[in-house]
Structure 1
Amino acid sequence: MSEISQCSTVTLHFSIKLSDGSVADSTHNLGKPAQFVIGDGNISENFEQHLIGLKAGDSQAIPLAAKDAFGEPNPDNIQHMDRTKFMGDANVEVGTIMAFSGPDGQEYPGIIKNISGESVTVDFNHPLAGQDVTFEVDILSVD
Structure 2
Amino acid sequence: MAGKWFDELNVGDVFDHPIRRTLTETDNVLFSAMTHNPALLHLDEEYCRTETEFGKRLVNSAFTLGLMVGISVGDTTLGTAVANLGWDEVRFPKPVFHGDTIRVQTEVIELRESRSRPDQGVVTFLHRAYNQHGDLVAHCRRSGLQRKRPVAS
For normalisation by structure 1, the TM-score amounts to 0.32
For normalisation by structure 2, the TM-score amounts to 0.30
Q: Kindly indicate whether structure 1 or structure 2 has the higher relative contact order, using CA contacts under 8 Å at least 6 residues apart.
A: 1
Q: Return the structure number with greater helix share.
A: 2
